[in-house]
Homo-oligomer: A and B are copies of this chain.
């Protein structure tokens, strides 16, 4: 049984180990600072498919395939897969994974999906409901632009606070035996936090309050401080959201400056790659977690980190109706034996 710590945190009795992980990205992400960390990439933004949506579906199935390969299992052996994405009605996941023939649990957490799916996969293991469970998510620059903003052909001007949706997917497979030696020790599901940000080109600002809420809740629950962790990763706050996160955490007495990195700021070279405030999208934190972060664990650089994916729970319709942008952030505390 998971033990509840404080108001928000869960500590697992049976360690959910990460047995395998896989990542796939597009060319721009491969050209970025983390290029060599990813399992594979394609020069073709359609990944051999007819549409960007189908390309993104392909990203998810490739990432799951790679994770299964690393875990040394056949995909059919998975008891459950938790998957979601950014597109309307989560079609990327449904179509990308429909041929797997395993119980499919659709989730929606916007860019918080990687941490959300991983946390739920751990919970399913802890309940005894699954022996092997996977989490996967993705995003694609071209499908996201069409969905949330304008078709690429329109060539609209980006604002300085805008972020560049990562073309990429990441998958993790959790199980009870000791594969990589990396396990989820604790999780903390986030609450919706909405401080009234309405600018759909400033997602970082909309998500930062939720990230601060989840991180400070977790630190209070566990009676720890940022310096107790090797590093604290957020998903895709970018430069604007990161500055705001530091401010908000400082008000609660936590200094994150020297212990924090943001996947959205790591995946691109902001000087050379013209991505404004950084990378974003479900695929951003997913691909970085399932590559760079796992690789650092494997090399013994990390033993205890926090991973927080952050999501903006809006749609073009809600923005057009004048609604603000609610944020959410889910946290996993990863450790290595």
Q: Mark A140-165, 1 if CB is under 8 A from B, else 0.
A: 00000000000000000000000000
State in angstroms the CA–CA spacing of A328 and B93 once bound together. 13
Instruction: Report the minimal beta-carbon distance from A199 to chain B, rounded to whole angstroms.
Output: 17
Q: Mark A100-134, 1 if CB is under 8 A from B, else 0.
A: 11111111111000001000100110111101000
Q: Mark A181-200, 1 if CB is under 8 A from B, else 0.
A: 00000000111101000000
State in angstroms the CA–CA spacing of A98 and B98 once bound together. 31
State in angstroms the CA–CA spacing of A129 and B14 once bound together. 13
State in angstroms the CA–CA spacing of A98 and B1 once bound together. 29
Residues in B with CB closer than 8 Å to A87 are 315, 317
A146, closest chain B residue (CB) = B317
A29 at interface (Cβ–Cβ under 8 A)?
A: no
Contact yes or no, B314 A89, CB < 8 A: yes
A321 at interface (Cβ–Cβ under 8 A)?
A: yes
4 smallest beta-carbon distances between A and B, as pairs: A1-B128, A103-B189, A94-B313, A127-B127
Give 12 A-B contacts (CB < 8 Å), ordered by A residue.
A1-B128, A2-B129, A4-B128, A4-B131, A53-B321, A89-B110, A90-B313, A94-B313, A97-B192, A98-B194, A106-B313, A126-B128
Please list the residues of chain A having a beta carbon within 8 angstroms of any beta carbon in chain B: 1-4, 8, 10, 13, 50-51, 53-54, 79-80, 84, 86-91, 94-95, 97-98, 100-110, 116, 120, 123-124, 126-129, 131, 189-192, 194, 313-318, 321, 323, 326, 328
